[in-house]
Each structure stands twice: as structure tokens, then as C-alpha cells.
Structure 1
Amino acid sequence: MAKLSKLYTMQEAAQHNTSEDCWVVIDGKVYDVSSYLNEHPGGDDVLIAATGKDATDEFEDAGHSKSARELMEKFCIGELDESSLAIPELEIVRAEQASDISKKIVEFTQRYWVVPVAVAGISAVVGFLYLRKK
């Protein structure tokens, strides 16, 4: 097999997520399976659901045969750019921000207290009427 020269990011692969244009990523390789969707034994929805993420685990769990793995090579269009898989930085929240968030939650519940009270009241009435019928 020739060395693959084209690198794709996961975001690029995820954009190809329709039955007319479907790419999947398995074992660090990108496959354009658009022309294979109708022939896939598991159905096209399985392949379309695999776009936008690394589908290696799902592929391995399905127990594909050696011939299926050989057939895959026909659809390989490149490799996944591993540098695009960097872990995003976590947002650090200061103590003041955390207290602001809790204050906003308390304000929200005080402002809209009628919604949970109405739900509880309606539930109680429905329960009472249901038990009364029996």
C-alpha cells in the first residue's frame, strides 16, 4: 500500500456526515465510505453515526472479518492529523465566579418558584384523582 500523504482533522471528517458524503475514522485513518453505504451489511445509519468521532472501538466490537478489513483499504483517503486531537484546556473558575454562579441559581429559583410548585401541585391532583377512581 502506498504511503498516505493527506492529513485530515477530526473536524474535517465530521463535516462529511450525510448519505451522499460520509467519512469515518478508524485506527487513525480516514475513509470515504459514501459509495459503500448502500452495500454495508449493518446499514448506512451505522456508518453515518460513526462520523465526527473515532469509530475504532465500534468497528472492533462489530467483529469485522479479514475480508472486510481488506475492503476498507479501497476507501482510505488519508490519515487523521494526530496534532488536531490535543486535549482542550480546562477553564479555571475563581472562587468569586463560583459564588456568582450560585447566587444566579438562587435568584433564578426565587424568581421562577411557581413552575416547580405548579408541577408538584398538578402531580398531586392527578395522583389524587387517579387513586379516587380505584
Structure 2
Amino acid sequence: MPTLTKLYTMKEASEHNSPGDCWIVVDGKVYDVSSYLDEHPGGDDVLLQATGKDATDEFEDAGHSKTARELMETFCVGELDTSNIPQLEVVAEKQKSYIPDKLVDLGKQYWVVPAAAVGIAVVVTFVYLRKK
């Protein structure tokens, strides 16, 4: 019979954020690293800073070895419940559509200065040539 995996929300995982009770979330899994804080080669502050958020990027950026990844599995207490988390693609799509609109608005706003400079130059040239 398969073992049931406990599901935790990010809120539940983030409540474990002290040196005596420290949980982190990496790749959708929740780890209780409380007993490993003193042994962690990067120091306990690195793990304590990773509580309350998805620390996957930080974990991957640190370049952990295969041995470290295997050791980490011994601290797994469950998985992150993703049923109420917005899909990343939807968030990324909203951000993607927002950026060009903002740039277009800036372009519309700042065209006046160069146009005014050209207009003033044309008028000054016209007046100067008429006086000759």
C-alpha cells in the first residue's frame, strides 16, 4: 500500500521559521531542516532566510552536490499544496503584456520634447532667413 504524502500550504510551511523549527520549500517539497541548521556548510542563516518562500532558485544557484540532494530527502516532511497557487504561466503572461504597454506609454509621453525642439529650430531658421 502506497504511503500518503502530507500536503502543506506555503503559509503552514512559513510558520516554521525559527532555529528550533525551520522548514524550507524546494521543488514543491517541504523539508524540516531544524536538526541540520548547525551542520549546514553555508550556515544556518542561509536556511533561515529561505523560510516563508519557495527557495528552489536559491537552492539551485548554490550548486548543491548529488550527496547534498540525497541528504536533503531525509528531511522531507511532505509536499507543497499547489491547488490554490496561481499558475506561473498566467502571472508571467500578465507581466509580459504589461511591460510593452508601459514602454508604449513612455514613448507617447516623451515624443513632445524632440518635436518641440525641431519645431523651434524650423521657426528660428525661417525668421532668420526672412530678415536677411
- Write the deviation string for residues 78-116 of structure 1: whole angstroms up to 9, x where unpaired: 0000013237xxxxxxxxxxxxxxxxxxxxxxxxxxxxx
Q: Is the 8 A contact 1:23 1:51 kept in 2?
A: yes
2:90 corresponds to which residue? Answer: none
2:58 partner SS: helix
Q: Which amino acid counterpart does residue 79 of structure 2 have in structure 1?
A: E
Instruction: State which structure, 1 or 2, has the greater radius of gyration over its C-alpha atoms.
Output: 2
TM-score w.r.t. the length of structure 1 is 0.61
Give matches, 1:1-134, under 5 Å.
Answer: 5-86=5-86
- Between the aligned residues of both structures, percent identity stands at 74
Which ranges of structure 2 fall in alignment gaps of 5 or more residues? Answer: 88-132
Q: Is the 8 A contact 1:4 1:78 kept in 2?
A: no
Corresponding residue pairs, total: 86
CA distance in structure 2 between the partners assigned to 1:23 and 1:45 by the alignment: 13
1:120 corresponds to which residue? Answer: none
1:68 partner SS: helix
TM-score w.r.t. the length of structure 2 is 0.62
Q: Which amino acid counterpart does residue 5 of structure 2 have in structure 1?
A: S
CA distance in structure 1 between the partners assigned to 2:82 and 2:14 by the alignment: 15
State the shift of 1:41 in Å: 0.3
Post-superposition, which runs of at least 4 consecutive aligned residues in structure 1 deviate over 4 A?
Answer: none
CA distance in structure 1 between the partners assigned to 2:4 and 2:78 by the alignment: 5
Output the aligned Cα RMSD: 1.4
CA distance in structure 2 between the partners assigned to 1:43 and 1:77 by the alignment: 21
CA distance in structure 1 between the partners assigned to 2:4 and 2:33 by the alignment: 17
CA distance in structure 2 between the partners assigned to 1:3 and 1:68 by the alignment: 24
1:85 partner SS: coil
Q: Is the 8 A contact 1:4 1:77 kept in 2?
A: no
State the shift of 1:4 in Å: 5.1
